[in-house]
Amino acid sequence: MIVRHGTGLGRAVKVFVVRNWGLILTVVLAEQVIVVVSRYSRVLETDVFSVTAIGLIATVVGIFIVFRFNEAYQRWWEARILWGALVNESRSFAREVITLLTPERVPSIATKQDAAKLHTELVYRHLAYCNALRLSLREQGTWDELAPFLNADELSELEGYVNKPTRLDYSQAERLAEVIGTDTAQQVLLMQFDSTLNRLYDTQGGCERIKKTAFPDEVRFISRGLVWLSAIAVPIAFLSADRHIRVIEVLAVVVISLSFMVVEQLGASLKNPFENEDNDTPMTALCRTIEIDLRQQLGETDIPPPVQPVGGVLM
């Protein structure tokens, strides 16, 4: 995710030019061709290329591109909401584990040392769950990143599952059921934890829905084509009104064309928030935030620092 701190105008311009150099070059060349043609031909002197007609086309293009941008932004914002919910649910889960699974409340937990060991096991498995979800959404197969949170046997067993976050959440449910047991008096605790695990499943499912529901390619192709069309048509409209394009009109053409490009490009970069790109949901930073909060709840002091933006981008 691009953050304000550390993001310079130079970087923004560089990224924009790199991603749109073809369209920018087309606008410049098209304007030059139109100027040359206007000097030796009257083909552009027609009502088809009038300012009014091109203005209507530009309006339609603008509406379509803004619609596409809004749809893409909704996907991006929903992804951010889901990961914000995961942060809160993680804190709640750790609090429930530490405060409810105690020798006083659960007969199977004999001592405070046993409770502390159990708390660490459950919290660390949850940290593995959050990081596994991050790796799964980004399609990164570097599962060794889960090694600090799981023992070797569990990590080896996990390799046999396609959906690793789902398996980890299920393992939590199995372990909690084993610890709490079948005593009727303790079932309220089990129901509380089951509700929390279900909310985690809901959050995971929302992220997977965004990941697996592709933004229609037709919309992308049409919006990009309309941007190209408007970038070429706008200078023709100015020329049809006056055979001599003034400097202010050249600037107007550039501003209008770049405006369409910027909005179209933003929509393209926001539509898939889990692709490990600059505008993606900062899952690495959020996983680190969860890790810091939960390990501090366990009373640990040797914790990693927060993830910092690199070049104005927080991953």
What is the tens place of the pLDDT at every residue in 164-197? Answer: 999 999 999 999 999 998 776 688 888 999 999 9
Q: What is the mean pLDDT of residues 261-274?
A: 78
* Residue 295 pLDDT greater than 90, yes or no: yes
Instruction: Give the list of residues 6+ apart from residue 38 with CB closer than 8 angstroms, or none.
Output: 44, 239, 243
Q: Is residue 160 scored above 70 in pLDDT?
A: yes
CA distance to 57, 144, 145, 186, per residue, from 149 (Å) = 57, 10, 9, 28
Predicted local confidence at residue 51, as pLDDT: 65
Residues 51/240, Cβ–Cβ less than 8 Å:
yes
Domain limits, the chain: 9-297
Q: What is the pTM of this model?
A: 0.82
CA-nearest of 117, 145, 120 to 131 is 145
User: What are the tens digits of pLDDT across the range 69-87?
Assistant: 888 889 999 999 999 999 9
Q: How confident is the model at residue 200 (pLDDT cuts 50, 70, 90)?
A: very high
- Which band of pLDDT confidence, cut at 50, 70 and 90, is reported for residue 93? very high
Q: pLDDT for 214-241, tens place per residue?
A: 776 666 777 777 777 777 777 666 665 5
